[in-house]
Amino acid sequence: MTIGVFLIGALVVVLANNSRTRYELEKSIGQIQNARYALQVLSDDLVNAGFYGEAIIDDTLAPSTVICANLDEMQQAATLHASIRGLDNVTANQRPGCAERALEGTDIIMVRRASTCASGNTGCEPFVAGLPHIQKPVCTDSPPFIIGSQASTFVGTTQPCNAETPTLAPIYRLQNHLYYVELRAIPSYEGLVPTLMRAELTADGYQGIPIAEGIEHLHFEYGIDTNRDGEPDEYLTAKGIDDGDPADWLNVVAVRVYLIARNLRATHGYQDNRTYQLGGCQVPLGEIDRKFKRQAYSTTVRLNNIAGQRE
């Protein structure tokens, strides 16, 4: 019986360790999945920044500095000309109205473009009256493009131009997205969970949509093309651009994306004493958050619609 007690005790310890290891592995897998998904969503949106269907926005226009563009502002060519913009290490006073719950100390990025799928096509978003759309007429050079929010506005046609029944040119919905980190209360999780959010322009204003849970820090660095060859010559933060030459927002041809993702549940007895270096940004950790395991991730995204025109 004594020998049996010792054997059972050892077996219990092994089973407990295996169970704890499996539980930690599941948490880490969830963290990796959330981080990779967050990077994929950001990359997919950034790579399409400045896409407006067949329309080309005149790059001699003075770009708008508006980040939370409303429905009227989204119908102005100057607003569309500014297809990328960021805010660095935001404070409570710097948070834009469409991301008023953004976590202080993290970055915000705005991506402006058109939907990559023409309204009404199979599997695409339908035309929604009241939301801004854009169309490039093919059979006439005037106007160069049409922006509006009512179906009757879009009269541009496509080839064949001499058809008895003209075909309307494709119509694309205009989009204004902001990405930021927000602390959210999520049932079954302890405390507030940092979450990657996307603010989308709708007919009723901006709506915040959760993208990936566990994303607790965002940092962006912007590749500036100074000689207009389509390749970045230097990387700057949003503050570096604003303090230097704000016109360089039009010369951004690539974005370095950095993020920190953490497990959704704490690990008992764990203390994260690492320092996270995201590009040129060093991220401090609060003492209360050191019980969560976390990892840094990064990627570089080329803005094809901007860089490609310069090659």
Whether 125 is covered by a domain: the verdict is: no
255 in any annotated domain: yes
The residue ranking higher by pLDDT, 55 or 5, is: 55
CB 112 within 8 A of CB 176: yes
Q: Is residue 189 one of the residues assigned to a domain?
A: yes
Length of the chain: 311
Burial of residue 189 (number of CB atoms within 10 Å: 0-12, 13-18, 19+) = middle
Distance of CA 80 to the CA centre of its chain: 17
Cα distances from 282 to residues 9, 89, 143, 217, 259, in angstroms, run: 46, 11, 49, 11, 12
Residue 2 inside a domain? The answer is no
The 10s digit of each residue's pLDDT in 36-63 is 999 999 999 999 999 999 998 876 667 7
What digits encode the pLDDT tens for the residues 171-188? 999 999 999 999 999 887
pLDDT digits (tens, 9 = 90+) for 221-272: 999 999 999 999 999 999 999 999 999 999 999 999 999 999 998 888 888 8
Domain of residue 103: give its range.
24-56+79-112+175-310
Residue 237 lies in a domain: yes
Cα separation of 232 and 305, whole Å? 14
Residue 164 belongs to some domain of the structure: no
| pLDDT score of 12 more than 70 | no
Domain presence at residue 15: no
Considering the entire predicted model, what is its pTM?
Answer: 0.91
Q: Is 248 within the bounds of a domain?
A: yes
Structural domains in the chain (count)? 1
